[in-house]
Each structure stands twice: as C-alpha cells, then as structure tokens.
Structure 1
Amino acid sequence: MSTVSVVIPCYKYGHFLADCVSSVLDEQDGVDVRVLIIDDASPDDSAKTALKLAAADSRIQVRVHESNKGHIATYNEGLLEWADGDYVALLSADDRLVPGALVRAADLLDAHPEAGFAYGRPLRFQHGGPLPKARTQGTGSVVYPGHWWLERRFREGTGCITSPEVVVRTSLQREVGGYDPELPHAGDIEMWMRLAARADVGYVRGADQAFYRVHGNNMSTTDFGGQLDDLRQRLVAFDSVLAKCADQLPQAEQLADTVHTRLARYALRRAYRAYDRGRTDIVPVDDLVAFAAECRPGFTSLPEYQALYRRRRIGAGLMPYLQPLVWSAVVDRGREWLWWQSWKRRGI
C-alpha cells in the first residue's frame, strides 16, 4: 500500500480544519495517509483546534509557529523537512479532497514511475455555498511527456492547476527543492514547471480530485491592478524556471520568446478591452503597455497593439458605443482593418 504525506498549512482557518482533515483521513481508503497541520501563528483558535484533532487520531501531527513565517516557509517546512511518504500533497486548510483522490493519484504514480506528479480536475465552490457534486469514478489516466507539458504552459503563458488536486512523488519534490519565496503569488505554477522539467506528468481522467474554496481571502487577485501584478508574477515565474532548469531545457531561448510574446499579448488585450468597456479610468492601460514593452521588443507589431492603437485614435469616450461594431484584432484582423478604414474615411 502506498504511503502519502499530506501537509496542511493553516492560518486563521481553524474553523475549516475538521472538514479538511476528514476529507484526507476518512475518505481515502486504499492508501496509508499521515497528516501534518502547521499553524502559522494564527491569532484565533486554529492551533487549539489542530491539537484537539491530533489528540483524537494518531495519524495527525501538529506544529505551531510562535511567530508568523508566511505561507512559503510553511509549505517548505512540511514538504522538505517532514514528508516521508512515497508521495506528498499540499492542501490548504480551507480546501478539501474528493473521496478517493489520493488513491487515484497514487495508483497512477505507482503504475508510471516516470511520472513525477499527478493531478486532475478541481471543483471550485463559493465560500458559504454547498459543495458541488463530484465525480468519483475515474475513466483512466494519461501520462504526458514532461517537456511537452512544460512547453504547453509556456505557449499558454498560464497554469492549469490550482494546487489541492496535485500529488507529488516525494523523492522528486526533494530533488527540485521547495517553493521560491521570491514568488509569493506564482510559486505554484513555477513549482509544477520545475517538476515537469525533470519528470513526466500524470493526469487523472473522469474523476474530480479536489474542492477549491473561492472567497475573499484567496491569494489570487481579481482587481485591475492585481491583474497586472499577476502578469508580472507570471513573467518572473517563467523566467525563474528557465534559469533554474537550464540544464534540462535545451530549447530555453525559444521558450522564453514564446512566453514573453504571450504575456505581452495578454497585457495588450487587457489594455484595449478597457476601451471597449469604458474602464480606462480604472484599468492601468499605460502600465500594461509598459509591461508589454518589457516582455517583448517590437511589441508594436502585435495585433493586440494595433487594436489598442485604433481605439486610442477613436478615444475612450466614444469607443464603448462603437465596440459592438469592432472585430477584435485577435479574432479577425482583416475585418477590423476594413472597419477602421471606413471610420478613418469619415475623418475620425
């Protein structure tokens, strides 16, 4: 029977702990599981709750920080200092696993020693709302070549994993090291890519693997300034992978050009969409353009920049009224060019 070490970092989430731990210990028949709860000096009763859970189940250990160390240091403490099972999972105290998730991931990794980690589909749910119905019967699995999977992340310029749905081979986790403290908001995607640079990637098909809670305290940002920060963090994360994994990535220069172009296009798209939606007063358009310039010399040749240029010529006040007539440069450059020429002839 495979052994799985589950690290549960907790900061002010004591009221979620019992449900989180139950999803690990009571709903994962078929694997030998141990749990470490690390309370990062929570000001509430999180530590007391954790200790109470540990007193009732010998499979649970607890560490309580006297001072707050932050989430990255807490993650690394559990993953690198404590975990000793065949596999390791990192599960936030406000999330939970789907029944059987650890068994499905462990079975995949047992069958494919070339795979460094396994993940599946997470289910997002709103804080305060009911859990969505989860699929618990898998339809098989697939193992992607690590470099192919990594290249796809660079092409897309974004990740495809939230975090609680991942189970990592412990030996590989120790080989690649811990989360980077320089990447507080993009450390997850950087970690998955570092793992993929050294091993193949398994995916559980058919079944859902974890529940990811969405609420105001999630570290991801949705405000417009936060979206720019997200792009900056992603840029640093991708560049970090290229620097740390240079020996494993002979195509590093090509990957860098690919992701820099993709991130520049994301930034410019957000900039021109601000004109379409009448939000140029709250969207940092100039900063987004500056970011695109930082990412890619010659960014003005990108179709998204041309779309932005046209909208700037029309003006922020008029653009929201004309937006339904505009064809995005990304979707159809030719039709937007014809549209622009027709307005240009009218003296706009």
Structure 2
Amino acid sequence: MSAPRVTIGFPVFNDHHYLPLAFDSLRAQEFTDFEVVVCDNGSSDGSWAICEKYAELDPRWRIERNPVNVGINGNFNKILGLARGEFFRLAAHDDLMAPTLIGRSVEALDAHPEAVLAYPGTVVIDGDGNETTYWDGDIDLTDPSPTRRLVTIAGRWRLANEVMGMVRTEVLRRTDPRSPYLSSDIATMIELVARGPFVRIDEPLFFRRIHAKSTFGAERSKDDVAGWHAETKAPAKRKEPRAGSDYNRLARGIAGSLIKAEDLPWSVRIPGMLAFQSVWAVRRSRIALGRWRRQLTRTPMPTSPWETTS
C-alpha cells in the first residue's frame, strides 16, 4: 500500500464530548488521500470506544492506545513517529475543519516549495459551536530571511493558530522533540519559522473552539494543564511558580532548540536566537508593565477579542 500524501495526527485524552464532531469534519474532507493517526493517551471516559468505532467505519483511521498517560507531548512525539504522509497536520478534539481545508493546504505547499508550513484563516467558535469572531491576528511569515521571520513572530504571535497548520513531515521531524512543559508546541513553531517561510491561505477554513475547558479556559488551572503535559494519569500538583516562570522556561526551551538545530547554519542559529529573545524580552516587559499599571489604577483587563461576540 502506498503512503498517503497527508497524515492527520490526532492525540486523544478523555475527549469524548467533542471527538465525534472533530472526526466527522475529517471524514467530510473533499481531499481524501490522507490517514488519521490517533493515539489515545489512557482515556477513561469512553474516548477509546469512539476511536474504535471510527476505525471500523473508515480504513484511513489508524488507532493506537497508550496503557497510561505519557503526556500530551509524549503522545505527539509517538504520533509523529507513526506518520507516513509527506505532509503532517495536528488536529485537536474540539476544533473543526471546513471540507476544503486539507486540500487547500496541500495546494498551498505544492505551489510554494520554499514554505515549510501552510495555514488558513481562523474562525473562533465557542463551546456550542457558535462563531464568536474571525481571528485577524495572523502574521506575515513569508520573509525569506529567517532572522526577520523570527523577529516578526516574537513580537506578534498570540493565539498561535499556525501550530495547527500543515507542515512538511520531514522538516517537522528535524525539530527538537516536544518536552513536557507548558506551550512547548510554541518552541516547535519557532523552530519551523527558522527553517522556512509559512504561507497563509486567505480563507476561513479552520474553526478553533475556545471554551471553558480549553487549555487555558476558565475551568482549567495551570495545575490541570501541567498534569495534562506530565507523564501521569492524574494532574500533577505543581510548586507555586514565580511570576513569569512558565514564560522563562519556554524562552529557555526556544533558545535551546534553535542552538541544537544542526541542520541550520550557525549564521542562522545564533542571530536568529538572539533576535527572537531580544524582541520577546521587550514584549514581555511591556506586558508586565501594563499589568502593573492596571493593578495600580485598578483598571480591569480588557476582554480578549475571541471572547467578544461579533
């Protein structure tokens, strides 16, 4: 059997509520030359039964099950190791895709051989599937200079929808394996930016669900999210972090990943790492100053654009 052009990587962990909707949006794709590699991370809520059902319905579903939770990043690394497609796209249990998303992403990468990743416009939806806003915070990462791309993303990434784009599998495999800390997928995204341009598909094809139980939703504490990343069945109680410690760990992870990127010349690694860290440090300082001013003046935090009904 020949390998499919695309692998959709689908990590699963106690996701039964939205999982069928996400699977159905995959089965509705107009482009059909793809496989779905699902790895259940020791779910206890019936998610595995849903995976088995779809594997019976559709031979493109390849399902694996970890006996225990190996952490979201360990699960992702396992899925990537199983991928056979030329292109890879990560999928989440609560997001949805327009029927043309996979096909348009393949077309974009075929048309732009210099690009390492293609991603579409994003519509933010709530827990009930209602559209809340069209996310216009996407950024231009087409500059041929790796350093300028890194400067751009350091200053502007926010929702990081690019993480859910379609990437060339062989390029993704050259990145540092994801580590068990918060937002390590951002470090992977930064590595990809250093390796090549991102091309944006100017169509709203990705429906990102942001709700109370999202990664940093109202009902998810950082302890919950840390447990989700950890190699354990239950959320691990963290030591009380110092202010900004998660961001500092991410900054160190990004710097280390760029320095270890042996397929990139030092002329890219060192200037790129220094440029990214400099711009990001300034950005974090401005954010911290803004929070201090709001506390001093007792000004409430502004409502995030994805929480505002349009």
Is 1:208 the equivalent of 2:243? no
1:92–1:164 contact (8 Å) kept in structure 2: no
Match of 1:38 in 2: 39
Match of 1:255 in 2: 276
Give the TM-score normalised by the residue count of structure 1: 0.69
How far, CA to CA, are the matches of 2:23 and 2:98 in structure 1?
Answer: 12
Compared CA separation, residues 19 and 261, structure 1 to 2 (3 A): same
> What are the superposed Cα offsets for residues 212-231 of structure 1, whole Å, 9 maximum, x if unpaired?
111222112569x96x9895
Match of 1:54 in 2: 55
How far, CA to CA, are the matches of 2:133 and 2:159 in structure 1?
Answer: 21
Identical-pair percentage: 22
2:13–2:43 contact (8 Å) kept in structure 1: yes
Match of 1:130 in 2: 130
- Residue 130 of structure 2 aligns to a residue whose secondary structure is coil
Q: How many residue pairs get matched?
A: 267
Match of 1:87 in 2: 87
1:126–1:214 contact (8 Å) kept in structure 2: yes
- Residue 18 of structure 2 aligns to a residue whose secondary structure is helix
Greater percentage in helix: 1
Give the TM-score normalised by the residue count of structure 2: 0.76
- Residue 115 of structure 1 aligns to a residue whose secondary structure is coil
Q: Who wins on radius of gyration, i.e. which is larger?
A: 1
Task: Write the mapping of 1:125-164 to structure 2, written as runs, cut at 5 A.
Answer: 125-131=125-131, 143-145=142-144, 146-156=146-156, 158-162=157-161
2:16 paired residue among 11, 14, 17 = 14
Compared CA separation, residues 188 and 231, structure 1 to 2 (3 A): farther
Compared CA separation, residues 129 and 198, structure 1 to 2 (3 A): closer
How far, CA to CA, are the matches of 1:268 and 1:208 in structure 2?
Answer: 34
Match of 1:103 in 2: 103
Question: C-alpha root-mean-square deviation of aligned residues, in Å?
Answer: 3.0
One-letter amino acid of the counterpart of residue 37, structure 2: L
TM superposition shift of 1:25: 2.3
Match of 2:237 in 1: none
One-letter amino acid of the counterpart of residue 179, structure 2: D
Is 1:269 the equivalent of 2:282? no
Is 1:242 the equivalent of 2:238? no
One-letter amino acid of the counterpart of residue 257, structure 1: S
Consecutive unaligned residues in structure 1, runs of 5 or more = 135-140, 284-348
1:117–1:202 contact (8 Å) kept in structure 2: yes
- Residue 212 of structure 1 aligns to a residue whose secondary structure is strand
2:87–2:168 contact (8 Å) kept in structure 1: yes
Is 1:193 the equivalent of 2:214? no
How far, CA to CA, are the matches of 1:25 and 1:71 in structure 2?
Answer: 24
- Residue 58 of structure 1 aligns to a residue whose secondary structure is coil
- Residue 201 of structure 2 aligns to a residue whose secondary structure is strand
2:122–2:206 contact (8 Å) kept in structure 1: yes
Compared CA separation, residues 121 and 53, structure 1 to 2 (3 A): same
- Residue 18 of structure 1 aligns to a residue whose secondary structure is helix
More relative contact order, 1 or 2 (CA 8 Å, 6+ apart): 2
1:4–1:33 contact (8 Å) kept in structure 2: yes
